[in-house]
């Protein structure tokens, strides 16, 4: 019988992350201080981030960065994750394509986010930090960081966007189960929060406000640092365990992917699955196609501009060279909350501008149809975010059918959807809509940006 899953042993958990920055043909443009427009140095990031995270953020020389033993030890709770041949899905599609997925949904919190939460908490602990803060929208990052903070004995305060705090009580319960303090944002506990509540008493919050609150707490509390779950280089670096494992597992399967696909929010899971394969494109050994799957309602890679922009809505972060829809772009309230982000990380953006990466944007209803086909053929109910990668894989398989080809397709299943069933309910009752962003809206938003690039 042919294998369904390709399983590595604990000893095969990678010992180093792959730092794509060291090998990119052209380095990404630097992060800039928004006031002076000068490139940032690692020291400039120390007040906000842990020193190790700040150094990794700007490290463009070391190709491999060692994974600390304490981090690998905790990875052992669920890593290595399985690589699965989606034979059920192939059959349902009647395709000759070989479809594989890397199953990151088996982590205790149900997504890939724990891969970076653990090292970030570990570096804080090692530096003698006692408290960390972050913000969370739908709650996946907050849940992952809560578990990591607990493991390393850190106190964690999570600012959760108020509307999600009330609409997604179970992710809040998960964070509280691990011992985190979850605060609905805007809150009265920070200056930024008090200001907004005073001006708009019924404001239901946004990620921008939650970031401002978390950064304010980190910079005004002794021994406290801020952490971020996507977008930044060090987060993408940590996620490369996904692709490094997948590379070995594809070898076990006796194949090499022609197409690698990841859904795209800020870019961390996409970077994680693709960068280790991309290095063989740099060297000319391979010619794999990399496809980022983003929502039609938040199409930064397919319709945004490549320009310096802020990472947050409020404009507190450094200026990041990114594909962006403008930092005050307000995406429609789709269910894939983790993909509702206006920009893309600096590395992915540079790679896209140089033609190393393709992107597709997918309507919400198509992603839910794909999720159903996947659930019914493979058994796993995917996260609405991950369903974008599934939908993109299905498009590739269908195209292969039409063209009479049989490519090897690999996608990342970034998480399961068992805490997102309200979204599935809405799809079942026919209440889900698609949102295409008018070009004029994107132009109006991006015309406001300083044209630095």
Ligand X SMILES: *Cc1c(COP(=O)(O)O)cnc(C)c1O
Which member of 30, 193, 299, 338 binds ligand X (CB under 6 A)?
Answer: 338
Does residue 243 bind ligand X (CB under 6 A)?
no
Is the CB of residue 29 less than 8 Å from the CB of residue 453?
yes
Of the ranges 17-25, 53-61, 262-270, 281-289, which one interacts with ligand X (CB under 6 A)?
262-270
Tokens 């309507």 locate to 363
**What Cα–Cα distance (Å) separates residue 75 from each residue in 9, 123, 204, 410, 446?**
12, 15, 36, 22, 40
Does residue 268 bind ligand X (CB under 6 A)?
yes
Strand-pair category, 181-185 with 224-226 = unpaired
Does residue 156 bind ligand X (CB under 6 A)?
no
Of the ranges 87-95, 152-160, 253-261, 383-391, which one interacts with ligand X (CB under 6 A)?
383-391
75 Cβ contact list (under 8 Å, min separation 6): 13, 67, 115, 118, 241
- 3-state SS, residue 100: strand
Does residue 325 bind ligand X (CB under 6 A)?
no
Is the CB of residue 321 less than 8 Å from the CB of residue 339?
no
Min separation Cβ 111 and ligand X, Å: 4
Query: Based on CB atoms, which residue is closest to ligand X, 80 or 267?
Result: 267
Min separation Cβ 174 and ligand X, Å: 12
Q: Quick one: 94 exposed, middle or buried, by C-beta within 10 A (0-12, 13-18, 19+)?
A: exposed
Does residue 327 bind ligand X (CB under 6 A)?
no
Strand-pair category, 259-263 with 289-295 = parallel
Min separation Cβ 58 and ligand X, Å: 20
DSSP E strands: which ranges in 224-375? 224-226, 259-263, 289-295, 305-310, 319-324, 358-362
What are all long-range contacts of 371-376, with beta carbons under 8 Å and residues at least 24 apart? 371/417, 371/424, 372/427, 373/89, 373/92, 373/93, 374/86, 374/89, 376/92
Min separation Cβ 336 and ligand X, Å: 8
Does residue 269 bind ligand X (CB under 6 A)?
yes
Does residue 240 bind ligand X (CB under 6 A)?
no
CB count in 10 Å sphere of residue 421: 12
Paired tokens of 347 = 């590395």
Min separation Cβ 235 and ligand X, Å: 7
Map the footprint of ligand X across residues 396-425, applying CB under 6 A. Answer: 414-415
Does residue 103 bind ligand X (CB under 6 A)?
no
Map the footprint of ligand X across residues 207-236, applying CB under 6 A. Answer: 230
Query: Based on CB atoms, which residue is closest to ligand X, 50 or 230?
Result: 230
- 3-state SS, residue 262: strand
Query: Based on CB atoms, which residue is closest to ligand X, 250 or 419?
Result: 419
Query: Based on CB atoms, which residue is closest to ligand X, 196 or 391?
Result: 391
Q: Contacts with ligand X: how many residues (CB under 6 A)?
A: 19
Min separation Cβ 275 and ligand X, Å: 13
| Binding interface with ligand X (CB under 6 A) | 111, 113, 140, 230, 263-270, 338-339, 383, 385-386, 414-415
């Amino acid at each position: 019988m042919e294998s369904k899953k390709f399983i590595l042993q604990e000893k095969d958990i990678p010992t180093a992350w792959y730092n794509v920055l060291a090998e990119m043909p052209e380095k990404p443009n630097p992060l800039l201080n928004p006031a002076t427009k000068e490139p940032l140095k690692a020291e400039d990031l120390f007040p906000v981030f842990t020193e190790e995270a700040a150094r990794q953020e700007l490290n463009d020389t070391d190709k491999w960065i060692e994974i600390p033993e304490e981090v690998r030890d905790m990875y052992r709770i669920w890593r290595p994750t399985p690589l699965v041949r989606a034979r059920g899905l192939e059959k349902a599609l009647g395709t000759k394509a070989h479809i594989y997925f890397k199953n990151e949904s088996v982590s205790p919190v149900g997504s890939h986010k724990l891969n970076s939460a653990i090292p970030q908490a570990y570096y804080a602990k090692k530096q003698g930090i006692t408290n960390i803060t972050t913000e969370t929208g739908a709650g996946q990052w907050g849940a992952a960081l809560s578990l990591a903070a607990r493991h390393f004995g850190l106190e964690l305060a999570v600012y959760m966007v108020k509307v999600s705090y009330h609409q997604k009580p179970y992710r809040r319960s998960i964070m509280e189960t691990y011992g985190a303090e979850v605060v609905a944002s805007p809150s009265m506990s920070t200056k930024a929060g008090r200001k907004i509540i005073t001006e708009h008493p019924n404001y239901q919050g946004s990620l921008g406000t939650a970031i401002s609150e978390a950064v304010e707490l980190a910079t005004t509390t002794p021994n406290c640092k801020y952490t971020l779950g996507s977008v930044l280089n060090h987060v993408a670096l940590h996620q490369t365990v996904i692709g490094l494992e997948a590379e070995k597992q594809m070898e076990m399967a006796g194949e090499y992917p022609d197409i690698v696909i990841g859904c795209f929010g800020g870019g961390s899971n996409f970077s994680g699955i693709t960068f280790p394969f991309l290095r063989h494109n740099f060297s000319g050994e391979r010619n794999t196609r990399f496809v980022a799957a983003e929502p039609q309602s938040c199409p930064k890679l397919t319709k945004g501009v490549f320009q310096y922009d802020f990472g947050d809505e409020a404009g507190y972060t450094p200026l990041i060279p990114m594909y962006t829809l403008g930092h005050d772009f307000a995406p429609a309230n789709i269910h894939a909350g983790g993909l509702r982000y206006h920009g893309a990380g600096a590395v992915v953006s540079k790679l896209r501008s140089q033609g190393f990466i393709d992107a597709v944007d997918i309507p919400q209803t198509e992603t839910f149809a794909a999720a159903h086909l996947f659930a019914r053929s493979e058994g796993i109910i995917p996260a609405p975010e991950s369903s974008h990668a599934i939908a993109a894989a299905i498009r590739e398989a269908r195209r292969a059918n039409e063209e009479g080809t049989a490519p090897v397709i690999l996608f990342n299943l970034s998480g399961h959807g068992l805490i997102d069933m309200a979204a599935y309910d809405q799809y079942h009752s026919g209440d889900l809509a698609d949102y295409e962003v008018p070009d004029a809206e994107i132009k109006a938003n991006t015309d406001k940006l300083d044209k630095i690039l």
